[in-house]
Amino acid sequence: GIQVEQSPPDLILQEGANSTLRCNFSDSVNNLQWFHQNPWGQLINLFYIPSGTKQNGRLSATTVATERYSLLYISSSQTTDSGVYFCAVEGGFSGYSTLTFGKGTMLLVSP
Amino acid sequence: DAGVTQSPTHLIKTRGQQVTLRCSPKSGHDTVSWYQQALGQGPQFIFQYYEEEERQRGNFPDRFSGHQFPNYSSELNVNALLLGDSALYLCASSFGNNYGYTFGSGTRLTVV
């Protein structure tokens, strides 16, 4: 099956700093999503981004499908950004497929 | 517009017991997927239901079974619970392949 690798596994930032999270995947995809998991466990969808660039406030994401990677940018980080960020992909082969998750990046933003 | 709702939010069961978890998909979604997330890990795919049938299955034993109802809601059943079944169980709904998945808040199952 498709492999998803996220880096770094852990990240500690001072409030106000910028960061970049990376997601590499092993095959072509027809879906890529970035999620933030809150302390209660809910996966909050940040971006649906199988290709291209999107921005939402202080967050933006870029997926370069031909090179099989995606980047999540967090600018001017806040303590509320703390949590686990997951990249998940859905394979591009024909037929049905489901999301495969990476192991996540644990982000801690300190005041 | 209601998102994905799961019940119960927390559950404690004894080894060997059976458990049923429930999920109502987001309005307009027709496909339901279930995931198991162990502590410190990413979610792992259990199975997916579409048109009341299991369409795909991950690497989980037959103790894990499910059902989808005509209103698209779904149940996850786990028989003969093991300590290792303790995890957060997440339900996700979707429609087609173009809009991504929406996840519920999960059910945290503890097996003692």
Q: Mind listing the pLDDT tens digit for each residue in A69-90? A: 999 999 999 999 999 999 999 8
- Do the Cβ atoms of B105 and B9 come closer than 8 Å? yes
**3 state DSSP class of A15:** coil
Task: Count the Cβ atoms, other than its own, within 10 Å of residue A37.
Answer: 22
pLDDT band at B92 (very low <50, low <70, confident <90, very high): very high
State the Cα–Cα distance between residues B92 and B72, nearest whole angstrom. Answer: 12
B66: chain A residues, CB-CB within 8 Å: none
DSSP for A43-111 reads: EEEEEE-SSEEEEETTEEEEEEGGGTEEEEEE-S--GGG-EEEEEEEEE-SSS---EEE---EEEEEE-
The domain defined by A4-93+101-110 carries CATH number 2.60.40.10: yes
pLDDT band at B9 (very low <50, low <70, confident <90, very high): very high
**3 state DSSP class of B100:** coil
- Count up the domains in chain B and report the number: 1
B41 and A CB contact within 8 Å: yes
State the Cα–Cα distance between residues B80 and B50, nearest whole angstrom. Answer: 26
CATH number for the domain spanning B99: value is 2.60.40.10
Find, in chain B, the residue whose alpha carbon is nearest to that of A42. Answer: B105
- Structural tokens at position A68: 């099989």
**Chain B closest-CA separation from residue A104 CA (Å):** 7
A100: chain B residues, CB-CB within 8 Å: 45
**Chain A closest-CA separation from residue B104 CA (Å):** 6
A97: chain B residues, CB-CB within 8 Å: 56
- Do the Cβ atoms of A20 and A107 come closer than 8 Å? no
**Chain B closest-CA separation from residue A75 CA (Å):** 24
B103: chain A residues, CB-CB within 8 Å: 35, 42-43, 45
- Do the Cβ atoms of B3 and B43 come closer than 8 Å? no
The rounded radius of gyration (Å) of the Cα atoms in chain B is: 13
Q: Mind listing the pLDDT tens digit for each residue in A14-29? A: 999 999 999 999 998 8
Nearest to A30 among B35, B42, B97 (CB): B97
Question: Which range of residues forms the domain containing residue B21?
Answer: 5-111
Task: Count the Cβ atoms, other than its own, within 10 Å of residue A66.
Answer: 8
Instruction: For residue B51, count CB atoms less than 10 angstroms from its CB and return exposed for 0-12, middle for 13-18, buried for 19 or more.
Output: exposed
Q: Is the dihedral of CA A92, B66, B24, B68 positive or negative?
A: positive
Q: Which DSSP category does A40 fall into?
A: T
pLDDT, residue A93, reads 54
B73 and A CB contact within 8 Å: no
Best to test chain B binding among A2, A37, A43, A97 (most B CBs inside 10 Å): A43
Residue ranges covered by each domain of chain A: 4-93+101-110
Nearest to A103 among B33, B35, B41 (CB): B41
State the Cα–Cα distance between residues B86 and A4, nearest whole angstrom. Answer: 24
Strand B19-24's sheet: what is its strand order? Answer: B5-7, B19-24, B74-78, B64-68
Contact yes or no for A43 and B90 at CB 8 A: yes
> What is the H or E stretch that residue B108 is in?
strand B107-111
Q: Mind listing the pLDDT tens digit for each residue in B59-84? A: 999 999 999 999 999 999 999 999 99
- Structural tokens at position B2: 């209601």
